[in-house]
Structure 1
Amino acid sequence: MGGFSYGLLNPKDCVSDWKLCLLSYCFPFAPFGIAADKVLSEGDGYRCLILSSIPLLNYVVLPCWRKMMREAKGVDGNILFDCCASYCCPCCTIFQASHEAGVDGALEVNKTIELMKRGVEGFNPKKEMEKAKDQSKEAADDAKKAAEEAKQEATA
């Protein structure tokens, strides 16, 4: 057994894997879930993500997640230090444990960029705006027709 290969609050480690560091600080749920999926049982990554997004429950989930990562990778430590690390710097904790789990920051950033590109591919804001205007006009016309029909039924 030994310690984590990256320390907490260590700028040198952050610079050496800056893409994972960036993901951990800007989108912490991404490396959190990816690491859980790599190390824990099938589907646990998604359960961890869901639980960590619930306010107040996330204060319990992150230290437990770090403990599971630590035990799975044979890193020395205890739950008290897991709690302290998780509460003092949750992003550093996610960065450290994700690196230990084998999450490749460059690969994950490239995957994320590719997904974002596919999401906006073919998106034309002007066409979407015109489409929204047309739908609004149709909805307004439908509302007018319904009001007129109701008025005619009331007078009949």
Structure 2
Amino acid sequence: MSSDWQHGICGCFDNLGICIIAYVVPCYTAGKNAEAVGNSCCLCGLAFFIPIVNICAAVSTRGKLREQKGIDGSCLSDFLTILFCPLCAMVQEAQETQGMGANYMVRE
């Protein structure tokens, strides 16, 4: 069974709190997204600061999230989305993980 993302790639303002946190402290959001799919929050948050490693960690997180939620896509589409719209992709993932019980200390 396949589905789509709950929020579009340009749906940053669907949850303004997550959007602000992602743009001000993106390493925190990257870590929380990773934690929601079973990766290490601290390692992925720190990986955000290391070029190339940050892209690999983000692609891994996005792929695991897609797999868990049954969302259509591929590793290539994840890579291109993260390469060209990294913060928008991060916010989209954060909004998706909120439905999985992730806590960003932001309520709608």
The residue aligned with 1:61 is: 57
Structure 1 residue 5, shift from structure 2 partner: 0.5
- The TM-score, its normalising length taken from structure 1, stands at 0.59
How far apart, in 2, do the equivalents of 1:64 and 1:58 lie? 10
The Cα RMSD (Å) is: 1.9
How far apart, in 2, do the equivalents of 1:96 and 1:16 lie? 9
The answer (yes or no) to whether the contact 1:20–1:104 under 8 Å persists in 2 is no
- The TM-score, its normalising length taken from structure 2, stands at 0.81
The amino acid that maps onto 1:3 is D
Per-residue CA distance 1:85-104 (angstroms, 9 max, x = gap): 00001000100011111145
Higher helix share: 1
How far apart, in 1, do the equivalents of 2:61 and 2:36 lie? 12
Q: 2:73 aligns with which of 74, 77, 90?
A: 77
How far apart, in 1, do the equivalents of 2:24 and 2:71 lie? 26
Q: 2:83 aligns with which of 82, 87, 93?
A: 87
How far apart, in 1, do the equivalents of 2:97 and 2:75 lie? 18
Gaps of 5+ in 1: 110-156
Q: Does 1:39 align with 2:37?
A: yes
